[in-house]
Amino acid sequence: MKKIFLFAIATSIALSSFAQKAKTNLTAKSFNGHHLAAKTTATGDTVAIEHILGTDTLAAYIVGHNADSGYVTGTDAYGDMGFAERYDHTDTLVSVIGVIARFTGTVNPASTKTVVFNTWSVGPKTLWTAAPSGHVYNSGFPNTSLTSVTVPITHLGISNIDTVADTVKSFWFPTATTNLSTFFVGYTINYTFAGLAGDTIGLWSNRDNERHIAYSSVSGADTIINNVNATQYSDNTWHDDAFDNFTLGNHLFIFPIVKIGGPNAVNGITKNNLTFHNNFPNPATTSTNIKFTVAQATEVTISISDMSGKTIQTIKGNYNAGTQVINVNTEAMAAGEYIYLVHTAEGEGFASKMSIIK
């Protein structure tokens, strides 16, 4: 059994930061459905993920004046090394060209540490536990790295000022993947927790229990664990977060930047409740249409940013189940390339690239 880790849900913040820079205000930041914060026990552990009030003034992850126990989605006292989220689709013309992620924490401006973003293939089914009446299998963990890029942690968009929000950042792979049907995206980091010296980082996440996919399925007498997100422990083995890592039922704020064939792709690429189809026309001049489908009614946010990460336009709305085509006015946008992220309040999302010509 792994960790008793330090986590609690705040109503309006993602993973709050901590360590030498003790961001204790749990209501200072928000990001559409992503707000995971923490509170400590006397020993610095967490007994459960639970909702806490925005008026709660407990510091996040503080164990002592100069120490903390880390993030469940990043550097931590357990030495976790990798974090990954699985994606599936039925369209045969999807490749991954990058990732978009939101980190938080504390970074020494002089730090030389790096993270490696990856797209992994999905490994084979593996036995988790055997029983006379039927075995339990993992559906597949991150396996072979298909493409990767190394990024200094000083470039992750983490603010070193308590009152300044962390920034969503895009990271590009030097080589795009070939067409994929299933894959994981995530990152790995090597470190010695005792020697972090101010570098304590983690991915934002949504609330626990907001993972909208069954934890497992039945195949004959066997049970198959649906490996949706996973953590790589210090011994390099991958473990399912829902079954083997505090029963965490959430999603990580790391999304693939995809290139999808055909502007009106019927199948698209799917993550649980959300299917992303594309934008068209692309390139655009005065307007473009972003197409997506939601299986159930939900709030969807479309965020458009320039290549430096500066948000240009945000569109948010509540949409009924079905296919949606959202017209975006691009007339005032300068010619060039932009990134847009489509994501739901439950933590599902995809990003892609659009071009504007004049």
- Mean pLDDT within 251-263: 81
> Quick one: which of 304, 293, 289, 292 has its CA closest to 340?
304
pLDDT at res. 29: 28
- Full set of structural domains in the chain with CATH: 8-244 (no CATH), 261-356 (2.60.40.2550)
As a dihedral over the C-alpha atoms of residue 190, residue 192, residue 198, residue 203, rounded to 10 degrees, the angle is: 40
* Count of C-beta atoms within a 10 Å radius of residue 54: 16
Between CA 211 and CA 182 the distance in angstroms is 18
pLDDT per residue as tens digits for the range 174-188:
999 988 888 999 999
pLDDT at res. 67: 45
pLDDT at res. 131: 87
Take residue 16 and report the two structure tokens written for it.
Answer: 């709050």
Strand 298-306 relative to strand 336-344: parallel, antiparallel, unpaired?
antiparallel
Q: Is residue 50 pLDDT above 50, yes or no?
A: no
Strand 136-138 relative to strand 222-225: parallel, antiparallel, unpaired?
parallel
Predicted TM-score of the model (pTM): 0.80
pLDDT at res. 316: 92
Which residue in the block uniquely carries the two structure tokens 């490749």? 95
pLDDT per residue as tens digits for the range 279-291:
999 999 999 999 9
pLDDT per residue as tens digits for the range 76-116:
777 889 999 998 876 567 889 999 998 877 788 899 999 99
Q: Name the region of 309 (left: φ>0; alpha: ψ -120 to 50; beta: rest).
A: left
**205-238 burial, b for 16+ CB within 10 Å, e for fewer?**
bbbbebbbbebbeeeeebbbbbbbbbbbbeeeeb
Between CA 145 and CA 279 the distance in angstroms is 28
Q: Is residue 59 pLDDT above 60, yes or no?
A: no
pLDDT per residue as tens digits for the range 279-327:
999 999 999 999 999 999 999 999 999 988 888 999 999 999 999 999 9
- Mean pLDDT within 197-207: 77
pLDDT at res. 24: 27
Most confident of 2-16, 54-68, 89-103, 105-119: 105-119
pLDDT per residue as tens digits for the range 117-156:
999 999 999 999 998 889 999 999 999 999 999 999 999 9
